[in-house]
Structure 1
Amino acid sequence: MAVSKPIVTIAHAVRHVPLRVELDDIEGIAQNASEMLMNVRESMLAPHPRKRAPVFSTSQLAALCRIDRKKVNYYWEKTDLGLPQGTILPRTREFTLAEAREWVSKVGPFPKRPVGVKGKKIAIGNFKGGVSKTTTAMTLAQGLSLFGRRVLLVDLDPQASLSALNGILADSEVTEEETILPLIYGDQTSLEYAVQPSYWDGIDLIPASAALFAAEFFLPFKQSKDRNFKFWDVLNHGLEPLLDKYDVVIIDTPPALSYVTINAFMAADGLIVPTPPSALDYASSTQFWSLFTDLAKSMKSIVPDLKKHFDFIHVLLAKVDSSQSATYAVREWINRTYERHVLPIEIPTTTVTSSASTEFGTVYDISKYDGSTKTYQRAREAYDRLAEMIDQEIFALWGAELEGK
C-alpha cells in the first residue's frame, strides 16, 4: 500500500513575497522619513513652527531666585534694580525665560564666574546608544542656565539628536558649513562661525548633521599626510577662543569611539558618563572603560609628553526605573565598580520625561505639567540637583585656579 505524501502548499508564502528594494529606492524612503519628521515636529510644536522656551509664574520665579514670593513683591518696588515686571495676568504675573534669568542674575544667590578664569568644557560620553546621553547634555545646559550661567552646546553626533532637542532638523535645516566640519578641514581656526542662538535664552548651539561622518575619514587621512598634525586637538583649539564668552561648554558625543569622540574627550575638562542600572548597560559600560583605557595608552604612545587630565569623571545613574527588580542589584554593581566616581544623584524614568521626549523636549521645557505634580517634581528635582552639583564643582575649580595663579 502506497503511503501518501503530505501536500505542502506555498500559496500563503507566495502571497507575501517581500517587496524588492533597489538602491535607488532608498532615497524615497529617506525623503518620506524627513517629511514625516518635519510634520511631526510642526504638529508637536503647534501653533508655533519653532520651539519656545517656557514661561514662569511668580511662584516659579521666586523658586528660581531662591527667595520667598513676598520678596518678589519687595524687589518689584526697588526701581533701582531695573528688574523686569513680567506680564500681568489674573492673580499672577508671567515671566519669560529671559526675564527670569535677569532676575536670577540680579537677586539670585549664584556667584558669577570670577574675572581671570575661562569657561569649563564638559563632554557627555558613552559608547552605547540609548543611555540618555543627549538628554543629559540638554538638561544640564538648561539647569545651569537657570543658575545664571551662559552655556554653549556642541553637537558632535551625526544623528544630531541634540540639535533636534533644540528644534532643529539636521537633514533640512543644517548645512555642512554650520557644523564643526570647516574647523576639521582647516578652513576655520575658531568655532565662532558655527555658533547660533537657540530657542533657550542663555544657551547657544553648534548643530550637527550627517555630514559629520566625513570627519572620520578626513582626520586620519590628514594625519597620515602631515606628521605634525594633531588630529586629537582640533576641537580643543576651535573652542579655546570661545571660553571667555561661555561659563560652560557641553559636548554631546557620538555613541562610538570615533575620531570626533577622541577630540571631545581630549578637549574636555570634565566627563560625565550616563549609565542606566540595567544588566546590558552595565556590561556595555565595562567595554567603554576598556576602550577608553586603550585610547589613553595609544595617545601616550603617540605623544609621550602629552599633558592631559580631567578635573572630574562622573558616572551618572540615568533612566532609573525602581519598579524593575534588577535595578537594585545593578545599582550596587555600578557603585562597587566605579565607587567615588558615581554621582549621588539618580535620574528617574517617569511619565514626565517620556511625554517630554515625544514632544522634542525635556522636563525644563514644561511650563505647566498636566499630570501628577509629585511625579513632575521628582523628575525636575533630579535634574536640578545634577545641575547644582556640577555648578558648584565648576565654581570650586575656578576658585582653585585663581589661588594657583
Structure 2
Amino acid sequence: MQAMRFNFRTLCRNAAERGGQMQRRLLDALEARHTVKTLPEFGIERAAQLAGCTANHIRNLETRGDLPQPRLVDAGSIQRRIYNYNEVNRLRAAIGKRPSRPAGASCVRVVFSNLKGGVAKTTMSLHFAQYLAREGYRVLLVDADPQATATGAFGFIPDLDLSDGDDLFPALAEAPSLIAQAIKRTHWESLDLIPARLALQYTDWRLSQPEERQNETLGPPPVRLHRALKTLEDRYDLIVVDTPPSLGMLSLNAIAAANLIVMPIVPHMYDISSSVQYFRILEQICALYEREINVQRLCILLTKVDGSTETLNNIAVINGAYGELLLSNRMGLTKELQKSASDQLSIYEIDQPRGSRDTYNRAIMMLDGVNSEILLAARQIWQQEVLSGIEAGESHRVGASS
C-alpha cells in the first residue's frame, strides 16, 4: 500500500478556510460588544482649571452666547454643568488660550522606538498623544505596529472596522499622498489616528524586495514614511508614532521620519544590552540616509521602574552611560495602568479609579510628569527652528544690503 504524501499547501488552504469561518464567528461576537468610546466628564471647576480661567468667566461666556450652552445633569435639587476635554479645548479657543506650535515652526514628529518588546512603547505613545490632545494641541497618532494595540485602544476592531487602504501600506508602497486617506477621527476631537492591521506585516516584506529599492519615484524604502508625513504637517502640531518591537522596514521608516526619538528602556540587564545594539543601528541608518534624516533629539525614558536594589543599581549604570539623554521623570509600575488597559482605556479616559483614589492620582502625576517633559523637548525643537529662521532672515538682509 502506497503511503499518502503529505501536502502542506492543501493543509494551509483548508486551515485558512476553516480559520476564516472561525474569524467570522468571532467578529460577530466582537461586533455585539463594539461600543462608541467617550471621554470622562467633570464639573465647571475642573474645566476652568484645565482652561486656565475662572468658573465665573465660563458662565459669563455661556450667558453671552460666546460658548454653547453647557450640558446639565441633575444633582439633587440643582443642575450641574458638565464638560469633557473636547469642550475644554473649545473653551480654550474662545478665550485665546489654546496652544499650538509657534509661527515659523514645523510639526514635530515624536517616535517611540526600541528593538525590544514589553518596554511600554505603545502605552507611552498612546498616553502621550492623548496628553497632547488634552492640553489642546492638534495631534496625529500613527500606529506602525501590526499588532494594532494602539488602534484597538480607540475602539477600532481592525478586522471588523478596517480594510485595505486603512493603514500605512498605500503611502509606503504606492504614493505618499495616500496617507491622508488612512486618517481616522477619534473620540478626541483634536487627536486623529492612522490605524494598523495585522496585514501591515506584509509591508515589511514588500519594502524589502529588490524592485522597491530601485523605485526612484517613491525613493528609498526606509525614508518613505518621512515623505508621507511631510504631506500632513500643516494639519498638526505634533505627530506621534508607535513602532513594532523589531527592526524591519516599519521601524526603520519611523526612525527616519523622527525629529524626536523617545527610547523606553526597562532597567534590566537584557534591555540595557539591547540599547547598545540599537545605537549602533541608528548610526548605520544615519550614514546611509543622512540627507533624509532630521532627528534633532533623542531621549531615554526609564519604564516599569520598581524600588528593588537591582533596579536602582541598573539605573545608576544607565545614568553613567547615557546620563544627558535620560529624562528626569520615570514610569514606575502601577496597577492603575494595568487595570485601565484591561478595559481598553487609558488613564486619561477613565471616569473612576479602578483601584484607590491615591493610586490613580499617583499614576496621573507620573504620566503627566513624563509627558510634560517630552513636550518640553518638542517645544525646544520648535524654539530652535524659529531662532534658526530668524538668524537666516537676518543673514539674508545683511547680505542683500551689502
TM category (shorter chain) comes to 0.7 to 0.9
Instruction: Indicate which of 309, 317, 323 corresponds to 1:333.
Output: 317
Contact 2:98 2:137 in 1 (8 A): no
Change (3 A) 1:290 1:395: closer
The whole-number CA distance in structure 2 between the counterparts of 1:84 and 1:288 is 51
State the 1:108 CA deviation. Answer: 7.8
State the 1:110 CA deviation. Answer: 5.7
State the 1:164 CA deviation. Answer: 0.9
The whole-number CA distance in structure 2 between the counterparts of 1:38 and 1:250 is 32
Change (3 A) 1:85 1:386: farther
Instruction: Indicate which of 47, 58, 74 corresponds to 1:61.
Output: 47
The whole-number CA distance in structure 1 between the counterparts of 2:183 and 2:323 is 37
The whole-number CA distance in structure 2 between the counterparts of 1:60 and 1:357 is 24
Matched, 1:351 2:335: yes
Q: Which runs of no fewer than 5 residues in structure 2 stay unpaired?
A: 1-10, 390-402
Alignment correspondent of 2:56:
73
Contact 2:140 2:191 in 1 (8 A): yes
Matched, 1:244 2:230: no
The whole-number CA distance in structure 1 between the counterparts of 2:25 and 2:310 is 40
The two structures, once aligned, show a CA RMSD in angstroms of 2.7
| Length, aligned pairs only | 371
Alignment correspondent of 2:366:
382
State the 1:214 CA deviation. Answer: 1.8
Contact 1:190 1:237 in 2 (8 A): no
After superposition, the C-alpha distances for 1:271-319 in whole angstroms (9 at most, x for unaligned) are: 011112233332333332233334334x1xxx5x635342211111122
Change (3 A) 1:404 1:188: closer
Instruction: Indicate which of 117, 123, 141 corresponds to 2:129.
Output: 141
Deviates more, 1:128-137 or 1:388-397: 388-397
State the 1:57 CA deviation. Answer: 2.4
Give 3-state SS (helix, strand or coil) of 1:320's partner. Answer: coil
The whole-number CA distance in structure 2 between the counterparts of 1:111 and 1:251 is 21
State the 1:87 CA deviation. Answer: 1.9
TM-score, with structure 2 as normaliser: 0.83
Matched, 1:157 2:142: no
Contact 1:122 1:250 in 2 (8 A): yes
The percent identity for this pair of structures is: 27
State the 1:382 CA deviation. Answer: 1.7
Contact 2:258 2:295 in 1 (8 A): yes
Give 3-state SS (helix, strand or coil) of 1:347's partner. Answer: coil
The whole-number CA distance in structure 1 between the counterparts of 2:324 and 2:18 is 50
Contact 1:66 1:108 in 2 (8 A): no
Give 3-state SS (helix, strand or coil) of 2:261's partner. Answer: strand
After superposition, the C-alpha distances for 1:339-377 in whole angstroms (9 at most, x for unaligned) are: 111101111221210111101111011122253221111
**Amino acid of the structure 1 residue aligned with 2:103:** V
State the 1:213 CA deviation. Answer: 1.7
Change (3 A) 1:293 1:314: same
Kindly report which structure 2 residues correspond to 1:364-383, keeping only aligned pairs within 5 A, or say none. 364-383=348-367
The whole-number CA distance in structure 1 between the counterparts of 2:95 and 2:353 is 27
Kindly report which structure 2 residues correspond to 1:50-199, keeping only aligned pairs within 5 A, or say none. 50-67=36-53, 71-78=54-61, 79=63, 82-89=66-73, 90=75, 92-107=80-95, 111-187=99-175, 189-199=177-187
Alignment correspondent of 2:3:
none
